[in-house]
Amino acid sequence: MNEPERPSFGRRLQQAIAEKGQLCVGIDPHPGMLTSWGLSDDAAGLREFGSRVIAACAGRVAVVKPQVAFFEAYGPAGMQVLAELTAEARAAGLLIIADAKRGDIGSTMAAYAQAWLNPQSEFAADALTVSPFLGFGSLQPAVETAQRFGAGLFVLALTSNPEGQQVQLAGAGGQTVAGDIVAQTAAANQAHDPDAPLGSIGLVVGATTAHLAQSHAIDLEFSRPPLLAPGYGAQGASAEQLRRSFGAAWDQVLVNSSRGILQRGPHVAELTAAIEESVADLGLNTGNNP
């Protein structure tokens, strides 16, 4: 049975941002965080952790981003919890980015895309993070799957880890690897729903590395890809730095905060306060918060 046609991810994301602002909250239940919250280091602890984060986010932010690795670490039970939390977040009206950073070729990439982007899948997210470092063309099965199901991708481009620059800023003739990834992402958006207010194929650009786009003549605005920006708060980037670094592309940015908000737990009220403070700090309060 085919899923009813739905608007593209870019269009749905633009609407969610207009209503709730640009903050994206990570769901990262690493063992140290579970312990600090007084939760058990098992599937039950994962479930309680995720449910509290979702309760705090519901009605306050547009997007949540579960880090898949922290669920995979607990085996089948952990992945079952991820499936349950995915359904819970969707029921709460949140868009979901599965942070899995999948990247492969041919039928394997197609299988990853089916697992994470097909609405009939237990793990179905609205968007998936992917790695283009086997060549951007290797992502084509995921691009096609995303377009078919009205889902999205976030392609690693200028990541915040220092090692990333060894690859991402390498190149010849004035063109960097990151620049080529950004250009091919723009082309993918131009080829599909070019009039959308945001593209459905986005980029991961670290909050602490976004300034490198300007210094390396990388155009983040063309085709208006959404820009997922980890690194705000606990990882060192301030709201002022974010706005300055992204410049005219600022309204395309989803600002991800994970540890900075999660370390304020364990109670929903404390998480809610942290979310509201982050929204205010970023200057993103839309007046739609409950």
**Burial status of residue 2 (CB atoms within 10 A of its CB: 0-12, 13-18, 19 or more):** exposed
Q: Which residue, among 118, 121, 127, 115, has the nearest Cα to 200 in the 3D structure? A: 127
Sign of the Cα torsion 119, 152, 160, 273 reads negative
3-state helix, strand and coil shares in percent for the chain, rounded to the nearest 5 = 50, 15, 35
Beta bridge partners of 237: 232
CA neighbor of 184 nearest in space, from 219, 210, 160:
219
For this structure, is 65 an active site residue? no
Largest CA distance in the chain: 54
- Tokens matching residue 14: 């633009």
How far apart, in whole angstroms, are the C-alpha atoms of residue 76 and residue 148? 28
Peptide bond preceding 266 in cis form (omega within 30 of 0): yes
Residue 108 CA to residue 138 CA, distance in Å, equals 10
Q: What are phi and psi of 164, to 5 degrees?
A: -60, -30
- The residue to which tokens 């870019």 are assigned: 10
Choice among 40, 83, 90, 101 that is catalytic: 101
Q: Which residues are catalytic?
A: 101
